[in-house]
Each structure stands twice: as structure tokens, then as C-alpha cells.
Amino acid sequence: MKDRYLSTIEAAKVMGISRVAVLKQIKTGRLAAERVGRNYIVDRNDLAGIFRHITPGDKRRVSSAVKRVVKDYGPALKRLGKE
């Protein structure tokens, strides 16, 4: 049962966002969570629903945007990566 739930920090790592962003999603109702004392725990199964909303069209738009940014700002991104 312990493996079924994640802390907000663990959920943030899985989702690739900050802990504060996870808490905002919980407060707005976009992410279901249970309160345990002063903390929240997130059911691992509830995280899967977040990723299901991305359609193939959304994936194509994101991919296109990433390619455009890399093309336009590639040298700057490389310099930022070295810092």
C-alpha cells in the first residue's frame, strides 16, 4: 500500500514540475490528493490521468515548437547549457 501513494515531492519529480506546482494543482482540483496531517499524498494511479489528456495533435504542436526554438535559439541554448 505504501508504494501506491507518492508525496508531493515525489509526484513533482514524476511530473517534471515543482512541488509548489503540484500543490497548486491539488488546490485547484486538477490533481486528486488526500490530506495526511499537514501534508498531501497523491495516488500513483491518479497521475496517469494527467498524461492522458495530450492528444496526438498536441504532441505534434509541441514537437514543432521545440524544433523551432532549437533552430532559432540553438547557439544560445548551447551556451546556457555550459554554464
Give pLDDT, residue 53.
66
Residue ranges making up the domain that contains 29? 1-52
For 39-78, the pLDDT digits (tens) are: 999 998 888 766 566 778 888 999 999 999 999 999 998 8
The CATH number of whichever domain residue 19 belongs to comes to: 1.10.10.10
pLDDT tens-place string over residues 7-23: 999 999 888 899 999 99
Residue type, 45: N
How far is it, in rounded angstroms, from Cα 23 to Cα 31? 9
Shared domain check, 60 and 40? no
**Could you tell me which of 63, 20, 69, 72 has the C-alpha nearest to residue 9?**
20
Give the pLDDT of residue 19.
95
Identify the three-state secondary structure at position 82.
helix
Who contacts 70 (Cβ-Cβ below 8 Å, separation ≥6)? 77
61 and 22 assigned to the same domain: no
Shared domain check, 76 and 38: no
